[in-house]
A and B are shown apart, each in its own frame.
Chain A
Amino acid sequence: MLVNATPSINTRRTLQIQDVGMVFPTKRGPFVALRDINLEVQRGEFVTLIGHSGCGKSTLLNLVAGLTTPSSGIMLLQERELTGPGPDRGVVFQNHSLLPWLSCLDNVLLAVERVFSEKEGKAQLRERALAALDLVGMSHAVAKRPHEISGGMKQRVGIARALAMEPKMLLMDEPFGALDALTRARLQDELMKIVATTGATVMMVTHDVDEAVLLSDRIVMMTNGPAATIGEVLRVDLPRPRVRVALAENRDYVQYRKEVIDFLYTRHSHVEKAA
């Protein structure tokens, strides 16, 4: 019941980014963070943004989230121009950002109420929140406060909060970056399942090559900043469902991985700022 239940292979565009640039004013004059960004994301597609730190991948995600306004260019979400933040995009923050004074259920309810309270009664809203928590395997902790659960669980609740709004797109800013390797792997697997069942359209920022190849339909590789832009886009044609263990020896997987590493470390290796 969350998002569009049919994992359709509909090629309709969900997101269009056209000639977007971002310039931040600083004391030393304007700083060009992003330039000439052009990207389309199809419905049901999983796109990751990868690049070295400071390449503006998070800036790009924040632009799509509406937390910052682009200096130039336009963005369309299902053919409508994006002018600010809104619940049609579910954002999962790196540090979960759950409100510590609300239980897991209430954290999700806060988002659900925002979107559906005009049409639905209290019981239905609660039902939605519970369903979202169930989807991420957190039914056992609905009444717990965020500080009572582990980092991985918090991130699950964060995902539940974002998904419960039935957004047109899920935006994830290094959602697993702060987790240990084992927890991260488990959450990646579950995210793949969730995306498979909900057919969600996802844009995710990461700096983890394996994560990008494992999860993505396309990997958007960004050049180094300042004035970063999209360097290459790699289509990952691995069949789903993808199984981590099997992929480790899959020749295509190794090849995709190599291409990303090649881009990041050979062609656009991170140059530490010389004086």
Chain B
Amino acid sequence: MGRALLDTPRDVAPPADTPPVRRATVVAVSTAATPAPAPREPFDWRGLGARVLPPLGGVALLIAVWALATQKSVSFPTPLATFDAAVKLFSDPFYSNGPNDQGIGWNILFSLQRVGLGFGLAALVGIPLGFIIGRFTLFNRMLSPLISLLKPVSPLAWLPIGLLVFKSANPAAIWTIFICSIWPMVINTAVGVQKVPEDYLNVARVLKLSEWKIATRILLPSVMPYMLTGVRLSVGTAWLVIVAAEMLTGGVGIGFWVWDEWNNLNVAHIIIAIFVIGAVGLLLEWSLLAVARRFDYN
């Protein structure tokens, strides 16, 4: 199990030493503010510039390269043409002209709904399973090889199984999300349970706490940061998978929309879709990071 963890990026997991950057800045601001109440400190334009300008520069660079490369192209739209298309697209995101022609808003919402369902079911199954695997060696030995075997399987390999079992495209897509996003949650939760410090369990033992109190007062808070890392990785995976799954299954959704626009040879829309998919993924990640911070007991 420990080996399996190494495969997953542990960007937030270990509870001990999480937020070096963020805290540091907060402290710096507050100490700078406290000693001098009388003369107001000048606004830190340089600091702001140093943080805001480089990302803007990066975006500008990308657009510049894109503009240069597409200067003479006929098939690939320029940034300006893409922007125009985007303005038009987002001016009416929720129109509906039958199942194959709906606004981009609907497409995103339908995709999010599938992700929500598949991911939610995966959390419902995966987190308890992780607890069981982490707490009982027997289950760990029983299930670890299976998880190691199934984890690296490409999402799309699961799709036919879903189609076969559910005989319908939509549940098959949800099933694919479910099976692909369950592993990070199982593994991280299990590792978190195994890493509950022995000292805390000794406290539970000398106090002879009930299993319920052990679970709620010691295991859960201690495992929470690991679990949330798993959840975050899972949502990322789910959002990755949905596009591919919808391309194959069809229906309203951002993945199908990309494929549909490819068939229409509307490349500008495909580029817009790429940005939208990225932005939604980023929002999912951020919101879960915010949740994770709330539960970080450090």
Q: Is B90 an interface position by the 8 A CB rule? A: no
Distance between A204 CB and nearest chain B CB, rounded to angstroms: 16
Find out whether the CB atom of A101 lies under 8 angstroms from the CB atom of B297: yes
Q: For the complex, what is the distance from the CA of A99 to the CA of B205, rounded to whole Å?
A: 14
Q: How far is the CA of A147 from the CA of B221 in the complex (A)?
A: 15
A85 touches B203 (CB 8 A): no
- CB of A66 within 8 A of CB of B207, answer no
A102 and B217: CB pair below 8 A? yes
Q: Please encode chain A, from 63 to 105, with 1 for each CB lying within 8 Å of some chain B CB and 0 for all others.
A: 0011100000000000000001111010101010101111000
CB nearest to B295 among chain A residues: A101
Does B247 count as interface, using CB distance less than 8 angstroms?
A: no
- Cα distance, A110 to B203, chains bound together (Å): 10
Q: Is B206 an interface residue (CB 8 A)?
A: yes
B202 near A86: Cβ-Cβ < 8 Å:
no
Partner of B206, one of A91, A100, A145: A91
B202 contacts A114, C-beta separation under 8 Å: no
A97 engages B200 (CB within 8 Å)? yes
The answer, among A86, A93, A99, A102, for a CB contact under 8 Å with B208, is A86
Known contacts A86-B208, A114-B208; A97 and B202 CB within 8 A of each other: yes
Q: Answer yes or no: B218 CB below 8 A from chain A CBs.
A: yes
Whether A145 touches B297, Cβ cut-off 8 Å, given contacts A93-B199, A97-B200, is yes
Distance from B142 Cβ to chain A, minimum over Cβ atoms (Å): 25
Chain A residue contacts of B207, Cβ below 8 A: 87, 110-111, 114, 165
Say yes or no for B25: interface residue by CB 8 A criterion.
Answer: no
In the complex the two chains form, is B217's CB within 8 Å of A85's CB? no
Contacting residues, chain B, for A165 (C-beta < 8 A): 207
> Is residue B209 within 8 Å, beta carbon to beta carbon, of the partner chain?
yes
Interface residues of A, CB < 8 Å — how many? 22
Contact string, B185-224, partner A, CB cutoff 8 A, digits 1/0? 0000000000000011011011111000100011001100
- Complex contacts, B206 vs chain A, CB 8 Å: 65-67, 85-87, 89, 91
- CA A101 – CA B297 in complex, angstroms? 5
Q: Is B298 an interface residue when CB atoms closer than 8 A count as contact?
A: yes
With contacts A99-B217, A110-B207 known, is A67 near B297, CB below 8 A?
no
Nearest-CB residue, chain B, relative to A107: B203
A109 to B208, CA, bound (A): 14
A189 to nearest B CB, angstroms?
26
What separation, in Å, do the CA atoms of A216 and B222 have in the docked complex?
37
Prevailing SS type, chain A contact patch: loop
With contact pairs A85-B206, A87-B208, A93-B199 given, residues A99 and B298 touching in the complex (Cβ less than 8 Å): no
Is the pair B199, A95 in contact by a Cβ cutoff of 8 Å?
yes
Given that A110-B207, A114-B208, A145-B297 are contacting pairs, would A99 and B202 also be in contact in the complex, using a CB cutoff of 8 Å? Answer: no
Min C-beta distance of B41 to chain A, whole Å: 28
Q: In the assembled complex, which residues on chain B have CB atoms less than 8 Å from the CB atom of A145?
A: 297
The answer to whether B298 touches A147, judged by C-beta atoms less than 8 angstroms apart, is yes
List chain B residues, Cβ under 8 A from A111: 207
In the complex, the answer to whether A100 meets B208 with C-beta atoms within 8 Å is no
- Write the chain B residue with the least CB distance to A96: B199
Q: Which residues of A contact B203 (CB under 8 A)?
A: 93, 97, 99
In the bound complex, how far is the Cα of B66 from the Cα of A99, in angstroms?
54
CB neighbours (8 Å) of B218 from chain A are 99
Residue of A nearest to B198 (CB): A97
The answer to whether B221 touches A67 (Cβ under 8 A) is: no
Q: Which chain B residues in 148-200 approach chain A with CB under 8 Å? A: 199-200
Known pairs A86-B208, A110-B207, A111-B207; A100 contacts B202 (CB<8 A): no
B217 contacts across to A, CB distance below 8 A: 99, 102, 110
Q: Which of A93, A97, A101, A165 has the most CB of B within 10 A?
A: A101
| Most chain A beta-carbon contacts within 10 A, residue among B206, B209, B218, B222 | B206
Chain A stretch 36-79: residues in CB contact (< 8 A) with chain B: 65-67
**Which residues on the A side are within 8 Å of B199 (C-beta)?**
93, 95, 97
Task: Point out the residues of chain B lying under 8 angstroms from A99, CB to CB.
Answer: 200, 203, 217-218, 221
Contacts of A110 in B (CB 8 A): 207, 209, 213, 217
The CA of A84 and the CA of B213, in the complex, are separated in Å by 19
Across the interface, name the chain B residue whose C-beta is closest to A167.
B206
A122 to B200, CA, bound (A): 24
Residues of B within 8 A of A66 (CB): 205-206
Give the distance in Å from the alpha carbon of A66 to the alpha carbon of B204 in the complex. Answer: 12
Q: Nearest-CB distance from B13 to chain A (Å)?
A: 16
Contact with B along A236-254 (1 / 0, CB 8 A): 0000000000000000000
**Besides the contacts A65-B206, A110-B209, A110-B217, what 4 more A-B pairs have beta carbons closer than 8 Å?**
A86-B208, A91-B202, A97-B199, A147-B298
Which residues of chain A have a CB within 8 Å of any CB of chain B?
Answer: 65-67, 84-87, 89, 91, 93, 95, 97, 99-102, 110-111, 114, 145, 147, 165
| 10 A-B pairs in the complex with CB atoms less than 8 angstroms apart | A66-B205, A67-B205, A67-B206, A85-B205, A86-B206, A89-B206, A97-B200, A97-B203, A99-B203, A101-B221
